[in-house]
Amino acid sequence: MKWIIKLLLILFAVFECGDLYAQKKQEELIDSMLAVMPKQKEDTNKVKLLKEIISGYYKSDFAVGIKYATQGLQLAEKLNWKKGIATMNYCLGFGYQNKSDFSQALAYYAKGLKIFEEAGDKGGIADGNANLGNVYNNLNEDTRALEYYDKALKTDEEIGNKKGIASITGNIGHLHQKHGKITEAMTCYLKALAIDEEEGNKPGEALINGNIGNIYLGQCNYPKALEYFYKVLKTGEETGDKGCTARGASCLANVYESENDDPKALEYDFKSLKLYEELGNKTKIALVTGNIGVIYEDQKDYPKALDYYFKALALYQALDEKPGLARTTGNIGNIYMLQKNNILALQYELEALRIDEEINDRYNTAVELQFIGTAYLALVTDTPAPPDRGTVITIANGSNSLPHVVIPAGKAARLDKAIDYLQKGLVTGKEMHTPNVMQEFYKNLATAYKLAGDYKRSLAAYENYMVVRDSIFSKENEDKLLKTTMEYDYDKTHFADSMQRMASQQKKDAEAALKFRHQRTLTYFGLGGTLILACLSFFIVKERRKSENLLLNILPSKVAAELKEKGYSAAKHFNNVTVMFTDFVSFTTASERLGPQELVDELHACFKIFDDIMARNHVEKIKTIGDAYLAVSGLPAADANHAENVVNAALEIAVFMHDRYAKMGDKTFQVRLGIHSGNVVAGIVGIKKFAYDIWGDTVNIAARMEQNSEPGKINISESTYHLVKEKFDCEYRGEIEAKNKGHLKMYFAGAKKVA
């Protein structure tokens, strides 16, 4: 069950909708504006001043922000200032949304949107549709959320609001991520990130980098998660945005906690907590306090964990922040379950369920039903068992009175309770399309049915558990961005099915022969069977060649051979390789200029030629990432000419793209190329769908070389330069600074020297 709590923390952290208000005002500025308020005339300027005050309070105290938003709405209505009325409705909607009063939020957003629609204010219309989409996203009504996001995106594209486009694209990415569509989510995030970088929108960049980091955290790719979360932290420190710095520190703590590096996790959580306390952001203080409780729970220091959970609970109660109340109450229940105090655990889990149902949080409702069913199941299997009579327990914690819990007498009655809650939760999990929760329901139902002596249902539940578990495992490792589509068990399953079909047909043919040609001799029948077996053999060989060609199209030949022989391929370290990155210049601009089909066709045409060039020069293509192309020479088989191979390939690409751009102009792209030589780790990602990939500083530095190159140029590092300087004309072009690497020298590689 521990994984469920971690998953909830990731999902809670991943979705931060594009802010309705820029977080620029510090606490001192709010105080100065409040001091001006009594002297301000009752006019539109006072409404604008109230909006700035609301923006500041929404960083720390939504209740106070709502108070000023109500005051602003009353003043705007008194002045009959339509835009002010609409804006203040949006302010109130945002406040109630963050208080989890979604019906109020929807009502205020709808009022504001109607006014902007009547006025034909497209910017206000886009914001209103985005706001409504965010509320429906909170309510897990994803179809409606997507409907409003699409409206907002269309309007933002009409008026050229790139910041809005990036924000909505990121929110759509969250919808995909919530349903396990990692590839679609990553595509949205990268598109949003490109726009934010182009626009210099640092808060937007930090937000998207955080979401990408959470994707990698969900896949247990901790190095990549740390890379993106450090970007969030760095952005906050460079811009002086304490909120962004605190968010980055909190996310880093989540990664270190997942890596069981508790000292590091606590270091970053306490750093985050200190910053949020300086900002007075009570909601985030509660969140990080709860996260610290999770770390102590990891360490099995249950008294400390409970201490921080109860602190967080008190904060959420004071804020009346119901999602946080539900989450923390459930965490407390989980501690008591770990301590085998299942009766007390049930009280807290039932209270968490009540809150989740009240705010219509169906995902967490399913999770709580899982916990409650498990608690009842534990009451059956506990040794010593609780009393076999009805037990009523009442415990109150502060102002939060926990529900009465009646424990039924007898194991059979408790089993019925467990099965009832697990079945309810399974229905909710299916409705929400949450396989990660569904597998736990099936697993526990299998145990419950077995204890009840219903072995038929137990077996069926366990089989469903295996199916869902396998689908989750493959889904977590699926990433179409890495161009991996080959299933490990393709050969076995496909050939087995083919042989079964052919054997079945053979049997039918034999029966038909006996029925209609019984006069034929056994010799003729034997010849017929031989012919069928020959056809079967031909079919199997043909299909095997097809699958092997597909496998070789995805994996290097040595790796494919190892995979077929052993069923797996271990990751290996390679000391002497050269890595190349290519990237198309102004790809985002080109994607706006070209139609979707034109864009895909042109990418395909270019990458097809790149593939041919790699093959000619003994370079192994690794993957494409959007418009980027990654390749390496020197693995899986060592090659003393790895650097020369890659530079030769890069020169061919540069010439090809130069000629193509001269001929087609804006219908194609210009290319940047970056090369670095060093060592990497290479291997297969995943179990069922393979992705051969490379990792290490060499890959990162090659990417930095590409980023600092110029259109049509080949930018190589110092290490590559020393390997190829005798064979290619090279031009020194200065240094760049790389994190943890110091200054890196760069050279442009030119034509091959004449012997």
39-54 tens-digit pLDDT: 777 888 888 888 887 7
State how far the alpha carbon of 573 is from the alpha carbons of 579, 683, 684, 696, in Å: 14, 9, 13, 10
Point out the least confidently predicted range of 188-197, 269-278, 392-401, 623-632.
392-401
Residues 457 and 581 in one domain: no
Q: Return the top range by mean pLDDT from 188-197, 337-346, 388-397, 560-569.
A: 188-197
* Mean pLDDT within 621-645: 88
Cα–Cα distance, 568 to 721 (Å, whole number): 36
* Mean pLDDT within 271-289: 87
Q: pLDDT tens, 234-249?
A: 999 998 888 889 999 9
Residue 137 has pLDDT above 90, yes or no: no
Half-sphere exposure (CA, 13 Å, Cβ side) for 344? 13
Q: pLDDT tens, 157-178?
A: 999 998 889 989 988 988 888 7
How far from each other are the two terminal CA atoms of the chain, in whole angstroms? 68
- pLDDT, residue 720, reads 94
Q: pLDDT tens, 93-136?
A: 888 887 778 888 899 999 999 999 999 999 999 999 999 998 88
Is residue 431 a contact partner of residue 411, using CB atoms and an 8 Å limit?
Answer: no
Residues 535 and 601 in one domain: no
- pLDDT, residue 538, reads 47
- pLDDT, residue 488, reads 27
Q: Which residue has the tokens 């946080």?
A: 324
Q: Return the top range by mean pLDDT from 124-128, 479-483, 692-696.
A: 124-128
Cα–Cα distance, 207 to 189 (Å, whole number): 10
Angle at 63 between CA 58 and CA 64, to 5 degrees: 70
Residues 38 and 141 in one domain: yes
Q: pLDDT tens, 322-371?
A: 878 888 888 888 888 888 887 788 888 888 888 878 877 777 777 778 77
Is residue 288 a contact partner of residue 250, using CB atoms and an 8 Å limit?
Answer: yes
pLDDT grade for 511, boundaries at 50, 70 and 90? low
Residues 576 and 550 in one domain: no
CB atoms within 10 A of CB 383: 5
- pLDDT, residue 379, reads 80
Point out the least confidently predicted range of 111-115, 420-424, 720-724.
420-424
Q: Is residue 397 situated within a structural domain?
A: no
- The SS3 call for residue 159 is helix
If residue 400 lies in a helix (H) or strand (E), which one and from where to where?
A: strand 400-401
| Tokens matching residue 84 | 């002010």
On the question of a cis peptide bond just before residue 384, with omega within 30 degrees of 0, the verdict is yes
Is residue 278 a contact partner of residue 290, using CB atoms and an 8 Å limit?
Answer: no
Q: Is residue 40 situated within a structural domain?
A: yes
Nearest to 8 by CA among 370, 504, 520: 370
Cα–Cα distance, 541 to 651 (Å, whole number): 40
- pLDDT, residue 564, reads 53
Is residue 235 a contact partner of residue 209, using CB atoms and an 8 Å limit?
Answer: yes
The verdict on pTM exceeding 0.75 is: no
Point out the least confidently predicted range of 381-390, 406-415, 570-579.
381-390
Q: Domain ends where: 196, 219, 242?
A: 219
Residue 532 has pLDDT above 50, yes or no: no
Nearest to 55 by CA among 76, 33, 36: 33
Residues 582 and 514 in one domain: no
Residues 76 and 188 in one domain: yes
Q: Is residue 73 situated within a structural domain?
A: yes
- pLDDT, residue 571, reads 66
Residues 454 and 600 in one domain: no
* Mean pLDDT within 18-39: 53
Q: Helix 27-36 to helix 44-57 angle, to the nearest 10 degrees? A: 150
Residues 651 and 533 in one domain: no
Give the count of domains, the chain.
4
| Tokens matching residue 754 | 């004449």
- CATH number of the domain enclosing 621: 3.30.70.1230
Residues 534 and 641 in one domain: no
What's the whole-number average pLDDT of the chain? 77
Cα–Cα distance, 634 to 639 (Å, whole number): 5
| pLDDT above 90 coverage of the chain, percent | 19
Single-letter residue type at 539: F
* Mean pLDDT within 507-524: 49
Phi, psi of 35 (to 5 degrees): -65, -30
Q: Is residue 404 situated within a structural domain?
A: no
- pLDDT, residue 132, reads 93
Half-sphere exposure (CA, 13 Å, Cβ side) for 596? 0
Single-letter residue type at 622: I
Q: Domain ends where: 187, 219, 251?
A: 219
Residue scoring higher pLDDT (492 or 497): 497
Parent domain of 646: 570-752
* Mean pLDDT within 621-628: 84
Residues 447 and 503 in one domain: no
Cα–Cα distance, 359 to 108 (Å, whole number): 18
Q: Is residue 500 situated within a structural domain?
A: yes
- pLDDT, residue 525, reads 43
Q: Is residue 282 situated within a structural domain?
A: no
Residues 45 and 146 in one domain: yes
Q: Which residue has the tokens 């010593």?
A: 384
Burial of 145 (0-12, 13-18, 19+ CB in 10 A): buried
Enumerate the β-bridge partners of residue 715.
674, 748
Q: Domain ends where: 472, 503, 529?
A: 472
pLDDT grade for 307, boundaries at 50, 70 and 90? very high
Phi, psi of 214 (to 5 degrees): -70, -30
Residues 692, 695, 699, 700, CA torsion sign: positive
Q: Is residue 607 situated within a structural domain?
A: yes
- CATH number of the domain enclosing 94: 1.25.40.10
The H helix count followed by the E strand count for the chain is: 30, 12
Residue scoring higher pLDDT (482 or 74): 74
Residues 90 and 214 in one domain: yes
- pLDDT, residue 491, reads 34
Residue 509 has pLDDT above 80, yes or no: no
Residue 484 has pLDDT above 80, yes or no: no
- pLDDT, residue 108, reads 92
Q: pLDDT tens, 53-95?
A: 777 776 667 778 888 888 889 988 988 999 989 999 998 988 8
Residue 192 has pLDDT above 80, yes or no: yes
Single-letter residue type at 305: A
Cα–Cα distance, 253 to 266 (Å, whole number): 7
On the question of a cis peptide bond just before residue 636, with omega within 30 degrees of 0, the verdict is yes
Q: Is residue 737 situated within a structural domain?
A: yes
As a dihedral over the C-alpha atoms of residue 634, residue 640, residue 646, residue 652, rounded to 10 degrees, the angle is -130
